[in-house]
Amino acid sequence: MEGQESPEKKASSCSPSPAENRSCSAVETGSDGADNKTTSIKEEEEEKLSLITWNVDGLDGEDQPERARSLCSYLISYSADVVLLQEIVQPYMRFMHRRLADTYTFIKGGEEGYFTMMLLKKSRLTLLNSEIVIFPNTHMGRNLLIAQVMFRGQKLLLMTSHFESCKSGSAERMRQLRLVMKRMSEAPDDETVLFGGDTNLRDYEVATVGLPSSVCDLWEQLGEPEKCRYTWDTQANTNKDIPFKCHFRFDRVYLRRASRDGVPRLDPHSMALIGLEILKCGLFTSDHWGIYSKFSVE
CA gap 232, 230 in Å, rounded: 6
Which of 29-38, 145-154, 164-173 is least confident? 29-38
User: Given this model, what pLDDT does residue 59 score?
Assistant: 93
Give pLDDT, residue 7. 44
Per-residue confidence (pLDDT) for residue 16, from 0 to 100:
41
Which of 125, 136, 88, 92 is CA-nearest to residue 109? 88
Mean of the per-residue pLDDT values for the chain? 90
Our answer to whether residue 198 is catalytic in this structure is: yes
pLDDT tens per residue, range 111-143: 999 999 999 999 999 999 999 999 999 999 999
Residue 11: per-residue pLDDT: 34
Residue 39 is predicted with a pLDDT of 61
What interhelical angle do 64-78 and 90-100 show, nearest 10? 40
Cα–Cα distance for residue pair 185/216, rounded to 1 Å: 11
Beta bridge partners of 123: none
Q: Which amino acid is at 21?
A: N
Q: Which of 57, 63, 81, 198 is catalytic?
A: 198
C-alpha to C-alpha distance for 230 and 210, rounded to whole angstroms: 20
145 pairs with which residues across the strands? 132, 160
| pLDDT tens readout for residues 17-62 | 444 456 777 644 345 566 666 666 666 788 899 999 999 999 999 9
Distance CA 94, CA 9 (A): 12
Q: How many CB atoms lie within 10 A of CB 105?
A: 17
Q: List the strands of the sheet with 115-121, edge to edge.
A: 22-25, 266-274, 290-297, 49-55, 82-88, 115-121, 104-108
Q: Give me the pLDDT at residue 79, please.
A: 98
List CB contacts of 86: < 8 A, sequence separation 6 or more: 53, 54, 55, 56, 116, 160, 161, 162, 197, 198
What's the pTM? 0.90
Cross-strand pairs, 295: 49, 268
Q: Is the pLDDT at 85 greater than 60, yes or no?
A: yes
CA 102/CA 190 separation, integer angstroms: 30
Determine the Cα–Cα distance for residues 146 and 128; give it in Å rounded to an integer. Answer: 11
* Amino acid identity, position 241: D
Q: Does domain 47-297 sit in CATH 3.60.10.10?
A: yes
Whether residue 243 has pLDDT greater than 90: no
